[in-house]
Structure 1
Amino acid sequence: MRVLTPTEQSKIKLLTKNQVSLALIEPTETGLKKSIMDATGSVRSFLKENNIHDYDIQGQGPENKVQIDTKIYEDFRIINSTASLYRPQTKKGDPRIWFSGLTKIANPNDIVALIFYSGAFHIFNLTQLNVESLLNSNLINPLKELVSEINGKANEIAFELLTMLRKVANSGLIPSMVAADTSVGRTLETILGIDINSSKQPDYKGIELKSFRSSRTNRKNLFAQVPDWSLSKFKSSAEILDAFGYYREDDFKLYCTVSAITRNSQGLSLKLDSDIKQLIENSNKPEIGDFVVWTLDTLHSRLKEKHRETFWVEADSTYIDGREYFQYSFVEHTKKPITSQFDILVDQGIITLDHLIKRNSKGKVVEKGPLFKIKPKGLDLLFPPSEKYNLI
């Protein structure tokens, strides 16, 4: 795709501010003449991540073509259309996409914005359409109505969760459900009726909940992600434990933090290689050296998947007769992490990695991570400006 103009970029920023997720397509002169466009990698990812369509499992040939209702937006009218998603019988069946009627609104090398909402595609010419004017207009128009509905729907869930949290906060002190460091989060999720499990998906209707005690300045959990063993010298957490573990009482374990700016007591550090798009963990033992690898693409995907929208919930902690109680008091609401910032923050030691590996009494190796964590000051650097709410 060609480089976006400053005007096109400003239109995208305005749509993003209104909670609109989109993909971009650049039709070529040949594509418009032949009514055919490549479904580029970014388009395929958009379709797959939003559970719209997966080209990887689509068969070749016209009998496997998928059609989806589409609306094409002009200034003050909508053209009803149909999207065709298919893989031709010829060659490798490279993914294709086409929208009937696209030639009526697009010239070669214009940028077309693709939105999916309420079971249909909504497309418009990002290059030509005056998005800012339409969204700020006092006159009713189709694009303004669409964006308002998407924005309202997105905020609806956030306000629903915020109302639930305020109800919990107004209940006063909540007794801890378990005597553990993680009890601040587990207690809140239990009160809210959220199942506590190991799912990688966000906790509440697409919103991730992260709770922490206000008295602490500890790093906050972002996500857990195992290395890409196929690219790594070591092929399991057990190998990492055997190489760097230590005994504590009856346990053989490796509980440590690994940073890109310093080596820890086990001689471990992280290094970012932007050229090959990898995060590498390294040992100062010459016979080991680089031993595990994460691709930056995988880490970026996990970050976007886990923290597309997050409530960071702060609680005041107090003890009564030896039992911990929580007063949930404050929420910071973040959205749409900036993945390029993730790399910078790792390189600066603001995002670090925790190993939590242990061999139990039965000889089984248990890994609770690796956990990627961020220092409190890093939230404002990883996410666009957030919303902050007092709960009481």
Structure 2
Amino acid sequence: MIQNIENLKSRFKSLGATRLFFKCLAENDNSKNQIYLGGSFAVLTYFQYGNVETFPDAKYPNFKAPIKFYWIDSEQVEQATSAQLILYPQYPEVRLSGFLRGCTLAPSKFLQPTLASQRSGIDGRVLFFGTTEDGATLAYLAPRNSVIANAAIDFANLTQEKAIFHDLPLTNLVGKSSKILLLDALREIHLSGFVDSIRLNKQGERMPYSARNGGGYTLEAMLGIKPNAIAAPDYLGWEVKAFSSSRITLMTPEPSSGFYGDNGVEAFVRKYGRKVAGKNQLYFTGNHVFDQTNKTTGLKLVVDGFDPKTKKITDVNGSIFLLDQNTHEAASWSFSHLLNHWNKKHASAAYVPFTNNKATPPKYQFGSPVYLGERTDFSKYLNALAEGKVIFDPGSKVENPDAPNKSVKARSQFRINKKDLSLLYESFEEIQL
């Protein structure tokens, strides 16, 4: 039996939880009304979830994403297989749904609607969440007036934070948070001075790397991060980005629709790219800023389904578009595609400056300060785009386009200036190592 907060922490840790937080429930948090998780998509950074899908024809158009949700007690674990996150952009708000269906371990009797005649405005139930590195969300509900619920409410009152979620200090085996561990690792790398350019192979072994784009690979290798294209954080829940100039690449998603989506990068570059003087190369590049036509490519970057005045998504089927001079769709990225990538990858992000010694092969030195961003929101990303702070700055090309040995490189990147990074996060810190 789980008797107190310490027992509860131990139980969550034994099941692999690396973060523990709770919500003091309200009377309308129940199986009928769903469980309210927050009035911003930033709450998505607390959970791991599956692919986001759009439901434009629902009574209240929304996005939905499945979540691997498990109820626990002192001895058992059982999955609520219908659990999902529902994102209502018009409010905005996020709710948890399907958390009881088909799960015998679920605390159903404590999550039934309260009759209007019995409502007092005081609830007393507390719902605990523990998240694991393999993408699971573990849950435990402490009933009203229980020892655990009362202790959690006292803890929340002590912090005096008017927040939806309250983090409990669930530390790892060495007694430090992931944030402190990350900073310790970056400090050690910073104090190492110039280091050889390397990257990890698939087996996790360090290999020399002589190309000029080795800064990010070297930092990842020193942190033990294998190269991957998975939309998930790199190191202990943190996305780590090395940068050497004032302009920083945020993400590189390929367009999901339009001419590019239908025909691929080579056909796109042949149609909208340009020949490079002195080289047998077609290149598609240029700064594409919101609501402006790029003079080189003739394409205009626009956003449909987002209102910059209210800073809200107005259409769940919305997209970011590149339109040609005839308003034909050259390329587009759907909100659901980008939202899925953005919140998963950028929930917590560390931006690390570096320099190289210009030698061959190069050596890199990773500097200070570093910049830490926490709790992002896709609406913040769209707003920064609409303000012209996030730009589309591609670098796709076709080498030897008319030869049998032609090569094609796709590079669809969205970038931002370092000084504007804080626009993307609820919390942003500059930390000297």
TM-score by length of 1: 0.67
Unaligned runs of 5+ in 1: 1-17, 56-65, 72-78, 88-94
Partner of residue 309, structure 2: none
* Residue aligned with 2:255, SS: coil
CA contact (8 A) 1:203 1:209 kept: yes
Moved more, 369-378 or 311-320: 311-320
Written as runs of structure 1 = structure 2, the 5 A alignment for 1:1-392 is 20=21, 37=32, 50=48, 68-70=70-72, 85=80, 96-98=98-100, 99-102=107-110, 115-117=128-130, 120-123=138-141, 134-137=155-158, 147-150=167-170, 156-177=177-198, 178=209, 180-213=211-244, 216-217=245-246, 219-229=247-257, 234-248=262-276, 249-264=279-294, 265-273=296-304, 274=306, 275-276=314-315, 277-284=318-325, 286=326, 289-319=328-358, 323-361=362-400, 362=404, 366-391=408-433
CA contact (8 A) 2:238 2:348 kept: yes
Unaligned runs of 5+ in 2: 1-18, 54-67, 83-96, 101-106, 132-136, 199-208, 307-313
- CA distance change for structure 1 residues 189 and 53 in 2, over 3 Å: closer, same or farther? closer
Shift of 1:244: 0.8
Distance in 2 separating the partners of 1:46 and 1:23: 18
Shift of 1:180: 4.7
- CA distance change for structure 1 residues 54 and 187 in 2, over 3 Å: closer, same or farther? closer
CA contact (8 A) 2:319 2:332 kept: yes
Distance in 1 separating the partners of 2:382 and 2:345: 17
CA contact (8 A) 1:314 1:331 kept: yes
* Residue aligned with 1:186, SS: helix
Distance in 2 separating the partners of 1:201 and 1:86: 22
Distance in 1 separating the partners of 2:81 and 2:230: 32
CA contact (8 A) 1:281 1:290 kept: yes
Distance in 2 separating the partners of 1:81 and 1:312: 40
* Residue aligned with 2:290, SS: coil
CA contact (8 A) 1:25 1:114 kept: no
Distance in 1 separating the partners of 2:261 and 2:225: 39
CA contact (8 A) 2:391 2:416 kept: yes
Shift of 1:231: 9.6
CA contact (8 A) 2:71 2:80 kept: no
Distance in 2 separating the partners of 1:291 and 1:181: 31
Shift of 1:293: 2.1
Shift of 1:377: 2.2
CA contact (8 A) 2:390 2:414 kept: yes
- CA distance change for structure 1 residues 86 and 348 in 2, over 3 Å: closer, same or farther? closer
* Residue aligned with 2:396, SS: strand
Deviations 1:232-278 (A, max 9, x none): 78442233212112222022221333221432211112111124422
* Residue aligned with 2:427, SS: coil
Shift of 1:331: 1.4
Letter in 1 for 2:167: V
Bigger relative CO (Cα 8 Å, ≥ 6 apart)? 2
Shift of 1:123: 4.0
- What is the percentage of aligned positions where both structures have the same residue? 18
Distance in 1 separating the partners of 2:69 and 2:232: 28
Q: CA RMSD in A?
A: 4.7
Distance in 1 separating the partners of 2:379 and 2:51: 26
- CA distance change for structure 1 residues 86 and 48 in 2, over 3 Å: closer, same or farther? farther
Shift of 1:37: 4.0
Letter in 1 for 2:189: V
Shift of 1:227: 1.9
- CA distance change for structure 1 residues 383 and 155 in 2, over 3 Å: closer, same or farther? farther
Shift of 1:383: 0.8
TM-score by length of 2: 0.62
Letter in 1 for 2:266: A
CA contact (8 A) 1:238 1:365 kept: no
- CA distance change for structure 1 residues 313 and 38 in 2, over 3 Å: closer, same or farther? same
Letter in 2 for 1:239: A
* Residue aligned with 2:370, SS: strand
Shift of 1:372: 1.5
* Residue aligned with 2:275, SS: strand
Shift of 1:313: 0.6
* Residue aligned with 1:159, SS: helix
CA contact (8 A) 1:105 1:125 kept: no
Give the helix-richer structure, 1 or 2.
1
* Residue aligned with 2:352, SS: strand
